[in-house]
Amino acid sequence: MSDLNHQDLSEYRSHRWLGEQLDLFHFPAHSSGMACWHPRGLRVYRALEEYCRELGERYGYEEVRSPLVCDSRLWERSGHAEKFADKMFALSVDGHPAALKPMNCPGHADLYALRPRSYRELPLRLWELGHVHRLEQSGELNGLLRARGFVIDDAHLFCAPEQVPGELAACLRMAQEVYALVGLGLRAELSLRPAQRLGDDALWDAAERGLRDALDEADLAYVEQPGEGAFYGPKVDLHIDDARGRAWQMGSVQLDFQLPIRFDLRYVGPDGRDESRAGEPYRPVMVHRAMFGSLERFIAILIEHFDGRFPLWLAPEAVRVLPVGADQHAYAHHVAARLRAAGVPAGVDPHGPLGGRIRAAQSLRVPVVAVTGAREADAGAAALRRGADQRVVGLDEAVESLGAEVRERRR
């Protein structure tokens, strides 16, 4: 630490410092504040993506991918051109104004409108790992915590009005599951109608009432924040406190009656019509849902939360196998191969003094070091070092126990 002793000790927990020390990513001078992910960092990213997809499957979502660049007519129709233009990267494509998408919701609404829908299809739950860009001011940028380009685990649920309470409750249950998994305390803020908004007060009243009811049913404590809602609807913002005592808004659950109107979204009801006898269209309610918010921000929080010491399922290298001598190289690679086959990220470091290799693994916060000498190779075992715990176990036992820890995403 001598080379950084002029800094506050909290900086040693900074995700930017840890990210570069642990060979996860760096921020090139030419990148406008966006990260370049290294192989080790991308393994963490992919583990989180895999968990996102598992959640989606379990909760009945269908994964889609919407275009990165869209004509300005889409943003005018959605209302973003009017309410969000200062945050959008404007482009010209074939002589027509366009923009990099700052949000995924208009693309999902457009997909819903592609063909007639039946009430039997609802709720339709679409989601994507959507890459978005927002023109943040340079003074607002903060590594992965606030960037101009990031990925949102973004879902949009198209529901019949009577389905909304159940869908909101399921979204909040999912949020509680996600944050409990990584040991982050969760609290909620109910962000209410802003001064600049779309739609009439009756719709806003219904939307805010629906979110209050869902929060009460989930038994999730919350505070109300007047004026902090999105321009198209109120939202529940999910907040955590990081390891350095700072508060962050992460995911959100938002109710939207406006985009379905602006995109004229309809469905055919049980009576075989797309509008009621009173002449009102059967229109779905749209729920916007992101559990992690920005994946980049979530990873930054986790780096600092775990001080770079990830649980096995998130670690870029869960186990590093160290052969004592050249005669054990082949066995060390066999151990690593067995672990990888069981889903445990494992590598081999065969060269140099053993003590130096142990210290190198420790400096990269590798959770488990497996030393394989002649005795371990002969016995089909490994000497596992995990913090202060050191023990020799059979290879089958090691593969089974570490594999189970990864599969079950234990913390």
Residue 220, H or E segment = none
β-bridge pairing 62-63 and 124-133: parallel
Of residues 5 and 106, more confidently modeled = 106
Residue count (the chain): 411
Is there a single domain that holds both residue 136 and residue 179?
A: yes
Of residues 91 and 155, more confidently modeled = 155
Residues 218, 224: Cα–Cα separation, whole Å = 16
Tokens 């990513």 locate to 25
* pLDDT-derived band at 393, boundaries 50, 70, 90: very high
Is the per-residue pLDDT at 33 higher than 90? no
With beta carbons less than 8 A apart as the criterion, state whether 232 and 79 touch. Answer: yes
Assess if residue 170 is contained within a domain: yes
Is the per-residue pLDDT at 1 higher than 70? no
Is there a single domain that holds both residue 82 and residue 224?
A: yes
Rounded mean pLDDT, 136-148: 85
* Domain final residue pick, 257, 277, 305: 305
With beta carbons less than 8 A apart as the criterion, state whether 204 and 234 touch. Answer: yes
**What pLDDT shows up at residue 5?**
36
Rounded mean pLDDT, 245-249: 82
3-state secondary structure (DSSP) of residue 102: coil
* Domain final residue pick, 274, 305, 336: 305
For position 358, which CATH number holds? 3.40.50.800
Of residues 294 and 277, more confidently modeled = 294
For position 262, which CATH number holds? 3.30.930.10
Is the per-residue pLDDT at 271 higher than 70? yes
Assess if residue 20 is contained within a domain: yes
Assess if residue 312 is contained within a domain: no
Task: Please state, for a pLDDT cut of 90, what percent of the chain lies above it.
Answer: 67
**What pLDDT shows up at residue 156?**
97
Residues 411, 406: Cα–Cα separation, whole Å = 9
Is there a single domain that holds both residue 110 and residue 70?
A: yes
**What pLDDT shows up at residue 10?**
59
Is there a single domain that holds both residue 293 and residue 237?
A: yes
Is there a single domain that holds both residue 225 and residue 138?
A: yes
**What pLDDT shows up at residue 225?**
92
Of residues 14 and 342, more confidently modeled = 342
Is the per-residue pLDDT at 166 higher than 60? yes
**What pLDDT shows up at residue 11?**
63
Is the per-residue pLDDT at 8 higher than 70? no
**What pLDDT shows up at residue 12?**
64
Assess if residue 313 is contained within a domain: no
Residues 42, 48: Cα–Cα separation, whole Å = 10
Over residues 168-222, the pLDDT tens digits come to 999 999 999 999 999 888 889 999 999 888 888 888 888 898 889 889 888 888 9
Is there a single domain that holds both residue 295 and residue 361?
A: no
Over residues 330-389, the pLDDT tens digits come to 999 999 999 999 999 999 999 999 999 999 999 999 999 999 999 999 999 999 999 889
Assess if residue 314 is contained within a domain: no
Task: Please state, for a pLDDT cut of 70, what percent of the chain lies above it.
Answer: 97
Measured between alpha carbons, how far is residue 253 from residues 132, 214, 229, 236, 241 in Å? Answer: 18, 10, 11, 5, 19
Q: Copy the structure tokens of residue 105.
A: 């919701």
Over residues 118-139, the pLDDT tens digits come to 999 999 999 999 999 998 888 8
**What pLDDT shows up at residue 220?**
87
Residues 364, 269: Cα–Cα separation, whole Å = 58
Distance of alpha carbon 16 from the chain centroid? 18
Residues 403, 286: Cα–Cα separation, whole Å = 40
**What pLDDT shows up at residue 135?**
86
β-bridge pairing 124-133 and 346-348: unpaired
Is there a single domain that holds both residue 300 and residue 340?
A: no
Q: Which domain holds residue 326?
A: 319-407
First to last CA, the chain: 28
Number of domain units in the chain: 2
Is the per-residue pLDDT at 405 higher than 70? yes
Is the per-residue pLDDT at 13 higher than 90? no
Rounded mean pLDDT, 102-123: 95
Decide: residue 391, CB within 10 A, 0-12 exposed, 13-18 middle, 19+ buried: exposed
Is there a single domain that holds both residue 281 and residue 341?
A: no
Is there a single domain that holds both residue 299 and residue 325?
A: no
Measured between alpha carbons, how far is residue 16 from residues 34, 225, 277, 374 in Å? Answer: 12, 31, 59, 41
Arithmetic mean of pLDDT over the chain: 91
* Domain final residue pick, 254, 270, 305: 305
Q: Copy the structure tokens of residue 345.
A: 């990220």
**What pLDDT shows up at residue 41?**
97
Q: Copy the structure tokens of residue 277.
A: 């006898």
**What pLDDT shows up at residue 2?**
33
Residues 363, 401: Cα–Cα separation, whole Å = 24
Rounded mean pLDDT, 275-280: 82
Is there a single domain that holds both residue 264 and residue 333?
A: no
Pick the closest to residue 72 from 98, 96, 92, 90 (CA basis).
Answer: 98
**What pLDDT shows up at residue 81?**
83
Is the per-residue pLDDT at 7 higher than 70? no
Assess if residue 112 is contained within a domain: yes
Least confidently predicted of 4-8, 160-164, 287-291: 4-8
**What pLDDT shows up at residue 367?**
97
Assess if residue 310 is contained within a domain: no
Q: Taking every pair of C-alpha atoms in the chain, what is the biggest distance, in angstroms?
A: 84
Assess if residue 236 is contained within a domain: yes
Is there a single domain that holds both residue 207 and residue 330?
A: no
Is there a single domain that holds both residue 291 and residue 341?
A: no
What are the residues whose beta carbons fall under 8 Å from the beta carbon of 174, sequence distance 6 or more?
Answer: 55, 59, 289, 291
**What pLDDT shows up at residue 197?**
84
**What pLDDT shows up at residue 4?**
37
